[in-house]
């Protein structure tokens, strides 16, 4: 592309000689992930590395991720230029790449500063001739026994680096292990390195799934030092808003998937739809619902593909173990529950069906799950008496007054059964410009529970989530980590009681200190609605309850230090289209104090962005300066 230049008035130094071109033999097996990574910039300058991400719909939505500190924001996203396939022609060249495959324009979707993530949606699908892949990911938060980085060191030709030792969860630029940390620490690279310009590049686990984006570190060809990658796990839920979390974009249908593989249509030529797995329920011995699932295998490539199909569960069998699909052809493949399921004991039983391609492309998988047994009530609260849960803001137990409803409908005038409910402001609407406020249960013993579901009567009024938010969060570790299991996906204007059921099993099954909280807020300035009203709450699961009392046996005075949430990363919400020039509206503040981030030697840590780029007048990373102002990456 004519006019593209590297940062600064002088030619930058070439990438270090220890870097490994992605066309080298070391990179064999990583072709799909390599094709998801690109270098990008603005106005002829190259800034950082980014990568295309798959979503659970596997519909090839062009979602492009990078590091938040690189400075892509809602103001400049429309001018983003992404360059695909900028790589050496020969192994060891570390040069000679071409910037011919590019596209312009994107829409900013989200950022989460704490773990250094930004996501944009490119304005158009990549040209099929560019052969772009969509990287798989793992949001489980698990550590990995090794790691691979694919990046543009110094914004030069694409390279690949290998770490053969386990990764560690820490905070940014910390060596201290912390399971709730914001970053993944790579001890040192066994092959290759990273450099300025590698920022925003993905870190893949040994299963070829992205788990982080590069924030920075001290690695170079000269020094075997650590790098830190912002955790996808932390950015998944972010601070609970669509503009501050990945989940809305990478799992648009709310499937709850924790992993997905790389989608490379140009390599496999085969797309497996739908992305859902087979989830079966039923009593011991059957019958089971549903009894089968069917996927369509569509070969969109220009060559025939043979697909081998296997199931690792004896109770689920594919209709064929091998299918040949001609170019531009398709076939259906069904997996059915077998008689082996009749011998399964009560509980959850999981498996996987795997589609393997004879052209060496990454396999596709779909989850299998059987939930065997009849659910029983573990806990129930009819709210005729006050269970004494922790309340923040205007949450209260009592009789709703039937007021409110500036927009939508008013509160009810009684419970679904009886008179009392838990509600947010029983005498009217919630406030505007409100921080998130919680109603939180005491601790619940679900150590014997499988397939746990929350069921309750709901009367809710709330504006669209771009402006106001209502959600349900659960924890399985006594409040250390909370996960959103339900949120409003549009305006809700209940005018009668509605039975709501939410699957919370992924978080609380087997937990001895689970909790649930209903969240009201945050809200913008403008329309207000009646908010939450809830009644007749039950927790059902397969298993044997350890407690049979109707009311919560845990201490009703259990302190809830999250009743009004820690807002280190959550400011009063405003519409996503807010006028940033309005001085009355607070902006996000950095969550990392750059002056406090040092290594053991006392040296300031550094981001892996270019250190030779001019200041903002020519497009420097303003957001990066706000979060990592004093941090400079030690160069090779």
Residue 477 CA to residue 459 CA, distance in Å, equals: 29
pLDDT per position as a tens digit, 313-358: 999 999 999 999 998 899 999 999 999 999 999 989 999 999 999 9
Which residue range is the domain that position 282 belongs to? 264-372
Query: Is residue 290 scored above 70 in pLDDT?
Result: yes
Mean pLDDT of 197-205: 97
Active site residue 208: no
Q: Could you say which of 372, 392, 417 is where a domain stops?
A: 372
* Strand 278-282 versus strand 364-372 pairing type: parallel
Question: Is 599 domain-assigned?
Answer: no
Q: Measured between alpha carbons, how far is 337 from 528 in angstroms, rounded to an integer?
A: 49
In this prediction, residue 611 has a pLDDT band, given cuts at 50, 70 and 90, of: very low
Residues 13-30 have a mean pLDDT of 87
**Average pLDDT of 165-173?**
95
What is the model's pLDDT at position 14?
62
Rounded to an integer, what distance in angstroms lies between the CA atom of residue 481 and that of residue 476? 8
Report how far residue 337's alpha carbon sits from residue 511's, in angstroms, rounded to the nearest whole number: 29
Q: What is the mean pLDDT of residues 437-458?
A: 96
CA dist 247 to 112, 113, 244, Å?
Answer: 12, 15, 9
CATH number at residue 485: 2.60.120.200
In a domain, residue 475? The reply is yes
**468 half-sphere exposure, CB direction, 13 A CA radius:** 27
**Alpha-carbon gap, residue 138 to 208, rounded angstroms:** 9
Q: For residue 479, give Cα distances in angstroms to 425, 473, 564.
A: 25, 10, 13
501 and 455 inside one domain: yes
Give residue-wise pLDDT tens across range 241-274. 889 999 999 999 899 999 999 998 877 678 888 8
Distance (Å, whole) CA 516 – CA 512? 13
Element holding 248 (H helix, E strand): helix 247-250
Domain-located, residue 180: yes
Start-end of H helices in 295-392:
none
Sign of the alpha-carbon dihedral angle for 559, 560, 563, 566:
positive
**Is position 611 within any domain?**
no
pLDDT score of 489: 79
Residues 360 and 413 in one domain: no
Domain membership of residue 616 (yes or no) is no
| Under 8 Å between Cβ of 530 and 404 | yes
- Residue 577 within any structural domain of the chain: no
User: DSSP readout, 376-431?
Assistant: EEEEEE-SSS----EE-TTEEEE---S---SSS-PPPSS-SSSS-EEEE-TTSPPP
Q: Which pTM does this prediction carry?
A: 0.51
Stretch 499-522: mean pLDDT:
95
Q: Which pLDDT score, from 0 to 100, does residue 268 have? A: 63
429 and 500 inside one domain = yes
**118-132, 161-175, 440-454, 595-609: which range is least confident on average?**
595-609
Cβ atoms of 67 and 213 closer than 8 Å:
yes
pLDDT (0 to 100) of residue 274: 81
Specify the number of domains making up the chain.
3
88 catalytic residue (yes or no): no
> Residue 601: pLDDT above 50?
no
Name 479's Cβ contacts closer than 8 Å, sequence gap at least 6. Answer: 515, 560, 561, 562
Same domain, 363 and 385: no
Q: Which of 21, 36, 45, 69 is catalytic?
A: 69
Residues 300 and 322 in one domain: yes
Question: Considering the chain, what percentage of its residues have pLDDT values greater than 70?
Answer: 83
3-state class percentages of the chain: helix first, strand second, coil last, to nearest 5:
10, 35, 55
User: Is pLDDT at 483 greater than 60 in this prediction?
Assistant: yes
Residues 366 and 385 reside in one and the same domain:
no
Q: CA-CA distance, 450 to 452, in Å (whole number)?
A: 6
DSSP 8-state symbol, 70: G
More confident residue, 571 or 183: 183
Q: How far apart are CA 231 and CA 217, in angstroms?
A: 15
Which range among 105-114, 257-266, 402-411 shows the weakest confidence by mean pLDDT?
A: 257-266
For residue 141, give the CATH number of its domain: 2.40.10.10
Looking at the structure, do residues 277 and 190 belong to the same domain, yes or no? no
State whether residue 557 is helix, strand or coil: coil
Domain boundary among 345, 372, 399: 372
408 falls within a domain: yes
CA dihedral 159, 161, 167, 171 (to 10 degrees): -40
**Residues 303-313: tens digit of each pLDDT:** 899 999 999 99
Angle (nearest 5°) at CA 473 between 504 and 372? 0
Of 145 and 610, the structure prediction assigns the larger pLDDT to 145
Q: Is residue 11 part of a domain?
A: no
Instruction: Provide the β-strand partners of residue 191.
Output: 162
Across the strands, what pairs with 52? 64
Give the CATH number for residue 325: 2.60.40.10
- Check if 239 is active-site: no
Q: What local confidence, expressed as pLDDT, does residue 584 receive? A: 33
**Cα separation of 68 and 364, whole Å?**
30
Name 566's Cβ contacts closer than 8 Å, sequence gap at least 6.
none
Let me know whether 417 and 289 are in one domain.
Answer: no
Q: Which two tokens stand for residue 256?
A: 């709850």
Task: Check 199, 201, 362, 390 and give the catalytic one.
Answer: 199
Q: Mean of the pLDDT values across residues 477-506? A: 92
Position 12 scores a pLDDT of: 47
Strands (E), 67-129: 81-84, 101-104, 106-112, 117-122
Looking at 203, 238, 273, which one is the last position of a domain? 238
Whether the ω angle into residue 274 lies within 30 degrees of 0, i.e. cis, is yes
pLDDT at 608 over 90: no
Mention every residue, 6+ apart, whose C-beta is less than 8 A from residue 540.
375, 376, 377, 378, 452, 453, 455
76 and 206 part of one domain:
yes
Same domain, 163 and 211: yes
The string of pLDDT tens digits covering residues 513-554 is: 999 999 999 998 889 999 999 999 999 999 988 754 444 444
586 or 608: which carries more pLDDT confidence? 608
Residues 152 and 187 grouped into a single domain: yes
pLDDT of 189: 97
Of 31-35, 349-353, 412-416, 559-563, the range with the lowest mean pLDDT is 559-563
By the 10 Å C-beta count (0-12 exposed, 13-18 middle, 19+ buried), 481 is classed as middle
* Token digits of residue 163: 């770490």
Of 35, 45, 101, 116, which one is the catalytic site residue?
Answer: 116
Answer yes or no: do 221 and 114 share one domain. Answer: yes
Instruction: Give the count of alpha carbons within 13 A of 401, CB side only.
Output: 10
């Amino acid at each position: 592309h004519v006019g593209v230049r590297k940062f600064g008035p002088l030619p930058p130094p070439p990438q270090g000689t220890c870097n490994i071109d992605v066309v080298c033999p070391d990179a064999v097996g990583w072709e799909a992930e390599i094709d998801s990574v690109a270098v990008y910039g603005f106005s002829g300058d190259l800034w950082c590395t980014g990568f295309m991400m798959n979503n659970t719909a596997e519909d090839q939505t062009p979602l492009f991720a990078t590091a938040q500190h690189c400075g892509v924001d809602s103001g400049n996203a429309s001018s983003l230029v992404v360059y695909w396939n900028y790589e050496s022609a020969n192994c060891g060249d570390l040069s000679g790449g071409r910037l011919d495959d590019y596209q312009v324009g994107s829409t900013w979707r989200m950022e989460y500063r704490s773990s250094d993530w930004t996501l944009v949606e490119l304005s158009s699908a990549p040209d099929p001739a560019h052969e772009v892949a969509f990287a798989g990911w793992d949001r489980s938060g698990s550590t990995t026994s090794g790691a691979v980085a694919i990046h543009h060191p110094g914004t030069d030709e694409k390279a690949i680096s290998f770490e053969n030792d386990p990764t560690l969860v820490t905070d940014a630029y910390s060596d201290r292990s912390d399971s709730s940390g914001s970053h993944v620490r790579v001890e040192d690279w066994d092959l290759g390195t990273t450099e300025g310009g590698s920022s925003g590049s993905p870190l893949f686990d040994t299963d070829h799934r992205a788990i982080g984006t590069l924030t920075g570190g001290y690695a170079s060809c000269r020094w075997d030092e650590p790098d830190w990658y912002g955790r996808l796990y932390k950015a998944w839920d972010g601070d609970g808003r669509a503009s501050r979390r990945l989940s809305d974009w990478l799992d648009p249908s709310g499937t709850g998937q924790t992993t997905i593989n790389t989608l490379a249509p140009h390599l496999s030529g085969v797309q497996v739809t739908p992305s859902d797995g087979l989830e079966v329920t039923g009593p011991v011995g059957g019958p089971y619902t549903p009894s089968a699932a069917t996927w369509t295998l569509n070969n969109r490539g220009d060559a025939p593909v043979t697909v081998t199909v296997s199931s690792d569960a004896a109770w689920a069998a594919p209709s064929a173990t091998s299918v040949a699909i001609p170019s531009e052809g398709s076939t259906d493949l069904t997996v059915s529950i077998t008689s082996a399921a009749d011998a399964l004991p009560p509980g959850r039983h999981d498996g996987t069906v795997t589609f393997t391609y004879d052209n060496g492309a990454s396999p596709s998988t779909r989850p299998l799950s059987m939930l065997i047994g009849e659910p029983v009530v573990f806990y129930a609260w009819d709210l005729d008496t006050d269970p004494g849960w922790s309340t923040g803001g205007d949450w209260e137990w009592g009789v709703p007054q039937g007021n409110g409803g500036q927009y939508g409908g008013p509160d009810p005038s009684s419970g679904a059964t009886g008179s009392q409910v838990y509600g947010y402001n029983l005498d009217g609407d919630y406030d505007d410009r409100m921080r998130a406020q919680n109603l939180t249960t005491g601790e619940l013993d679900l150590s014997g529970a499988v397939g746990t579901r929350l069921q309750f009567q709901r009367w809710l009024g709330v504006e669209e989530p771009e402006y106001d938010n209502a959600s349900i969060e659960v924890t399985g570790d006594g409040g250390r980590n909370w996960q959103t299991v339900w949120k409003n996906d549009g305006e809700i204007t209940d005018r009668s009681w509605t039975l709501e059921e939410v699957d919370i099993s992924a978080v609380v099954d087997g937990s001895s200190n689970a909790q649930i909280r209903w969240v009201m807020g945050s809200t913008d300035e403008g329309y207000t609605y009646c908010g939450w009203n809830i009644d007749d709450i039950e927790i059902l699961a397969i298993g044997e309850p350890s407690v049979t009392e109707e009311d919560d046996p845990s201490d009703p005075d259990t302190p809830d230090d999250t009743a009004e949430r820690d807002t280190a990363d959550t400011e009063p919400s405003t519409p996503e289209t807010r006028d940033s020039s309005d001085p009355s509206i607070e902006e996000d503040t950095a969550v990392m104090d750059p002056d406090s981030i040092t290594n053991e030697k006392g040296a300031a840590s550094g981001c892996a962005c270019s250190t030779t780029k001019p200041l903002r007048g020519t497009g420097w990373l303003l957001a990066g300066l706000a979060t990592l102002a004093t941090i400079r990456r030690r160069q090779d």
